[in-house]
Amino acid sequence: ADVLCLLYDFSIISPARPGQPWYKIEGQINGNTFVYYDSQSKELKPVGRLGLQLKDIPFWERQKETLEDSCNELKTKPLEITAETSSNRDFCTLQGRLTCERGANRERRSFWRFHLNGQITPDFELENRKWTVDDSGDQRLKDMLDSDRELTEFLMRVSDGDCMSWLQQVSEHLEEMRETTGAPATTPGTPQVRGAAIRSITSILSVLLMCLTLLGIQGRVV
């Protein structure tokens, strides 16, 4: 119960296909999807029972502006850079994931990960204000992102600020739900009621036993 992970999966396409949203976002808590949002509907859609339970707490509507701003920022920075360095400049895609989590020891961490154009361009992780890239990545793109302090600061504000605040609100709400659903459905008079019921059952059993004993005696007499 102490481990809690809130994440958002982004899918951004540039340029957008006719009649299709140019970004889609899916939010999850511990692997369970609870919200869906895209550029067409501009509506936070609760998903499943968890989404319905969370849609009335304060962070719900606050997600909208932050998620939309994030997509706009990612479209105008990493995607534009990718278009400049990619051999295919007509169509670019970005899959991103924003994660904030609380571990079993209550420690907290947040980070971003990105995939640009599927397997063609590298996987980036932003953590501790640094972009990292594996051996298969494009060092030129990493250098460009490292030099963009404005983008780095924005992403850190979202991950360490907004997302961590939402994680705290979700944690408090889930804790309240556990306390409500886990509490025994009893009233102050319940122990006395249970005691009276037990005494009644004992009395009935005693009467039945006495009847059976009398029937046994009569049978031997006959």
pLDDT in tens, 79-107: 666 666 555 556 678 888 999 999 888 88
Indicate the DSSP class of residue 17.
P
What span, in angstroms and rounded, lies between the C-alpha atoms of 15 and 162?
28
Structure tokens belonging to residue 180: 């409500």
> Counting every residue, how long is the chain?
222
User: Which are the contacts of 199, defined by CB distance < 8 A and separation ≥ 6?
Assistant: none
CATH of domain 4-181: 3.30.500.10
- For residue 165, name the pLDDT band (cuts at 50, 70, 90): very high
Q: If you average pLDDT over every residue of the chain, what do you get?
A: 77
Q: Is there a contact between 26 and 8 (Cβ–Cβ < 8 Å)?
A: yes
User: Residue 75's closest CA among 151, 156, 157?
Assistant: 151
What span, in angstroms and rounded, lies between the C-alpha atoms of 78 and 205?
79
Please list the helix, strand and coil fractions of the chain in percent, rounded to the nearest 5, in that order. 50, 25, 25
Tell me the CA end-to-end span of the chain in Å, nearest whole number: 69
- For residue 13, name the pLDDT band (cuts at 50, 70, 90): confident
Q: Greater confidence, 28 or 118?
A: 28
The pLDDT tens digits for 168-211 are 999 999 888 888 876 443 333 433 334 444 444 455 455 455 54
Q: Which amino acid belongs to residue 14? A: S
Q: Is there a contact between 30 and 95 (Cβ–Cβ < 8 Å)?
A: no
Structure tokens belonging to residue 160: 């360490």
User: Residue 114's closest CA among 145, 154, 148?
Assistant: 145
Q: Assign 131 to helix, strand or coil.
A: strand
- List, in sequence order, every beta strand (DSSP E) within the chain: 4-14, 23-29, 32-38, 45-46, 92-102, 108-116, 123-127, 130-133
Structure tokens belonging to residue 95: 């899959």
The pLDDT tens digits for 166-179 are 999 999 998 888 88
Helix residue ranges, H only, 96-163: 139-146, 149-156
